[in-house]
Chain A
Amino acid sequence: MPLRQYQPTTIMIKILKYSFYDLMRSRWSYVYFLFYLLLGFVLLFLNNELSKAVITLMNVIIVLVPLIGTIFGVMYYYNSKEFTELLLAQPIKRSSIFLGQYFGVAGSLTMSLVLGLGIPFTLYGLFQSNAIWDFSLLLITGAFLTLIFTAIAFNIALANENKIKGFGYAVLAWLFLAVIYDGLFLMTLIVFEEYPLDNLSLMATMSNPIDLSRTLILLKLDISALLGYTGAIFKQFFGTNLGLVMSIFMLFLWTIIPVWRLGYVAKRKDF
């Protein structure tokens, strides 16, 4: 028996493949894909202009992609419990099982997003337009948000045997980062309005993946003038190449930390 067939990465890719096909077969992947397809066509039809459609799209993506990533992540984890238990008794490294499943889910969600939005925009002449960079950035941040929130969801599900609790915590995590965080941020700005808050604002924005994605896209779209003084400061930072690199780096960090933790916790858990 050649040993290389037991390489952890090969097996991880096999598990990724099975999870991916499993999801591709489920109705929900199609619903998600068709939703974006429809959204793309409707927005283009209503806006009649690529760059404006991109802005509207951003507002939807920034909130919806994390929510879908969270819900799919939690649901998939609990639904594939039997599959996981079957795999645990096989000669497979634990991290291969969980990372394979995670990338299967995140991959299929990202594919639905990219294809669902890509098709209508391409048909509309995206490649001949200037909006292609903005659109690509939108898809890249969308992919990052999927990876980040699916990983957070897997972490939460792994820590909670009880489905209802796990589901609740995951939705709370999404609610916090998508809505409550901004509220707290705004309150802080109002309470401390007499102090210079530029750096605090930058830090606060960098440490929430949803805010970070939003800022990144808004500034690329060059509508920072609408944001006044703060906008100018943000533009100074995020508008530069350094800002872009820093932002992408932060998104990477937001992806890597939960994914690493997933492998770490899975290794120590009893099944």
Chain B
Amino acid sequence: MIHVESLHKRFGKNEVLAGLELNIDQGGIFAILGPNGSGKTTLIKTLLGMVIPNKGTIAVMDSPVRNKWKYRQDINYLPQIANFPGNLKVKELIAMIKDIRQKPSNEQKLIGLFGLEPFLDKKLSNLSGGTKQKVNIVLTFMFDSPLIILDEPTNGLDPLSLIHLKELIFEEKAKGKTFLITSHIMQFVEEVSDEIVYLLEGKIYFKGSIAELKTKTGQSNFEHAIAAISTHHNHD
């Protein structure tokens, strides 16, 4: 599904990705974790072609992504901060994205699921953070694509919406889709993910299941295991 080879990216003097190698097979939910500034968002953005790497190659669905754009047909992306053009109405934004993607979509079901009907005629600048995030989720899940990338999907969601989001993720996973998720909420990660990809200083420091992580760190609690993995590194 995704093959990343010796990926390097620096912003000025700051080396964010330092020879990162990553292979992700099709199907399943992969949580990308790591301390702040470890390169999670940069990694995702290089996969999407928003950030252009200095060195290395990336292939998504077996095709190299450099200077390409058509492969994004197969990716649904939920950005971290739901910033939308403020003077558009919710339904106009949805219509616009549909018009651009030209793919079959099931937004009606999602709008119902997240109770967005009363907001369809409201401008995006007048929505609360949580409601914007729901719109963001609708835009991400309304198309049928094999790869779904979620950057902090739980941001600002109320408990009910969070439950709906998890159901949605499992539903799509059952169809054989691949997820890349970043989150700071360890409980959420533990519930949904099949595999952990732990980034440290621009490299993959650990990749494996939660059980493997627990054995490796000798911790029985997932949150402590994640905490241990970074301190573990510091003692090396």
Contact = CB atoms under 8 A, between A and B. Distances in A.
Given A6-B102, A85-B79, A90 B87 contact: no
A216 B129 CA distance: 54
B85 A91 contact: no
Contacts of B73: 1, 6, 91
Nearest to A93: B69
Contacts of A270: 11, 45, 50-52
A22 B72 contact: no
A80 interface: yes
A26 B100 CA distance: 23
Interface string B69-98: 111110101010001111110000000110
Contact of B96 (A18, A80, A81): A18
A86 B93 CA distance: 10
B164 interface: no
Contacts of A22: 85, 87-88
A1 B103 contact: yes
B101 interface: yes
B50 A91 contact: no
A83 to B, nearest CB: 4
A177 B79 CA distance: 40
B48 interface: yes
B51 A11 contact: no
A92 B87 CA distance: 22
A175 B172 CA distance: 56
* Most B-side CB within 10 Å, residue of A26, A88, A268: A88
Contact of A90 (B11, B84, B97): B97
Contacts of A85: 50, 79, 83
A193 interface: no
Contacts of A91: 69-73, 101
Interface string B112-148: 0000000000000000000000000000000000000
A94 B69 CA distance: 8
Interface residues of B, number: 29
A90 B86 CA distance: 19
B221 interface: no
Interface residues of A, number: 29
A267 interface: yes
Interface string B11-23: 1000000000000
Contact of B70 (A6, A83, A88, A271): A6
A1 B97 CA distance: 16
A148 to B, nearest CB: 27
Contacts of B101: 90-91
A89 B97 CA distance: 11
B85 A83 contact: yes
B87 A25 contact: yes
B141 to A, nearest CB: 14
B231 interface: no
B67 interface: yes
A14 B85 contact: no
A11 B100 contact: yes
B99 interface: yes
Contact of B84 (A6, A18, A86, A88): A86
B58 to A, nearest CB: 14
Contacts of A25: 87
Contacts of B103: 1
B95 to A, nearest CB: 10
Contacts of A6: 70, 73, 102
A177 to B, nearest CB: 31
Interface in A227-271: 267-271
* Most B-side CB within 10 Å, residue of A5, A86, A269: A86
Contacts of A87: 100
A87 B79 CA distance: 11
A82 interface: yes
Contacts of B49: 88
18 contacts: A1-B102, A5-B102, A11-B100, A22-B85, A80-B85, A82-B85, A83-B85, A86-B79, A89-B79, A90-B101, A91-B71, A91-B72, A92-B69, A92-B72, A268-B52, A270-B50, A270-B52, A271-B45
Across the A-B interface, the 5 shortest Cβ-Cβ residue pairs: A82-B83, A91-B72, A91-B73, A83-B85, A5-B102
Given A82-B83, A85-B79, A91-B69, 6 more contacts: A22-B88, A86-B79, A86-B84, A86-B97, A87-B100, A270-B52
